Amino acid sequence: MKLATLKELNTERAARRPVIVVTDTSNGEQRLVKAADFARDPLEAELSKQLRMGKSANVEVGGKKWFLNVYAPTARMVIVGAVHISQALAPLARSLGYDVTVVDPRTAFASPERFPDVPLVAEWPDVALPPLNVDHYTAFVAVTHDPKIDDPALLHAFARDCFYIGALGSRKTHAKRGERLKALGATDADIARIHAPIGLAIGAVSPSEIAVSIMAEITASLRMPKEKKAAA
């Protein structure tokens, strides 16, 4: 890899911006393609697929063979609410490679005894969230069921363009949440991004089952093509 390409790659990775290094396997020539430039690239479909899957691969297009070396940011998960569901969800997400942080100002809930080996921030969202550098590669889960905590947290997730935003509550509860969020400046498009009721509809009842349904929905949001998600 040329030094200029390596420097550009390191810059993008430090900024948590995904890139793919494309190598022509016939002659070793390389070029770096930023995710923002995929749509203008002749390999757009293959680049988008491999980034979505998070895997490097050999591809063949138009009789030419290429190696796509994928550099995607490590996915993060921010869980707002140190509740029973979170106790099951945090280790599940970590087993799938997510960097997980649990936020809850209620210190009786956000304790190391209840969340061993999971970073905890026992502060209100306006204090806890900005230092976490929430971004597009963050799955954001709000499960306190307390508007004083969940609502400002969701506004933060909207502003940071998280790839997944989910919130606990029934459809009736979510409708009331939507009205509150609009009063706080959220748009209809923002509210439409919230997965609520949270998780895939698999008949989950226990906290562990609900955690599985949430993780499945997050995985679908990360891995499935947009057209398939729309049809689901």
Q: How confident is the model at residue 176 (pLDDT cuts 50, 70, 90)?
A: very high
Residue 225 pLDDT greater than 80, yes or no: no
CATH of 3-71, one of 1.10.3470, 1.10.10, 3.30.450, 1.10.287: 1.10.10
| Lookup result for tokens 């998780």 | 199
Three-state SS for 101-136 is EEECCCCCCCCCCCCCCCCEECCCHHHHCHHHCCCC
Q: What is the DSSP string of 151-195?
A: HHHHHHHHHTT-SEEEE-S-HHHHHHHHHHHHHTT--HHHHHTEE
Which has more pLDDT, 54 or 121? 121
Specify the CATH number of the domain 76-230: 3.40.50.720
Distance CA 66, CA 58 (A): 6
Averaged pLDDT score across all residues of the chain: 94
Give the domain ranges of the chain.
Answer: 3-71, 76-230
Length of the chain: 232
Contact 171, 197 (CB under 8 A): yes
Q: Please, which pLDDT band fits residue 101 given cuts at 50, 70 and 90?
A: very high
Exposure pattern of 135-149 as b/e (b: 16+ CB <10 Å)? eebbbbbbbbeeeeb
Query: Mean per-residue pLDDT for 189-209?
Result: 96
CA quadruple 142, 158, 196, 214: dihedral positive or negative?
negative
Nearest 10 degrees: Cα torsion 53, 201, 75, 89 = -140
Which residue shows structure tokens 């869980």? 79
Q: Is the pLDDT of residue 221 over 60?
A: yes
Sign of CA dihedral 201, 77, 161, 41: negative
Instruction: Give per-residue pLDDT as tens, 23-46.
Output: 999 999 999 999 889 999 999 999
Residue 2, classed as helix, strand or coil, is coil
Of 127, 134, 88, give the one whose Cα is nearest residue 104. 127
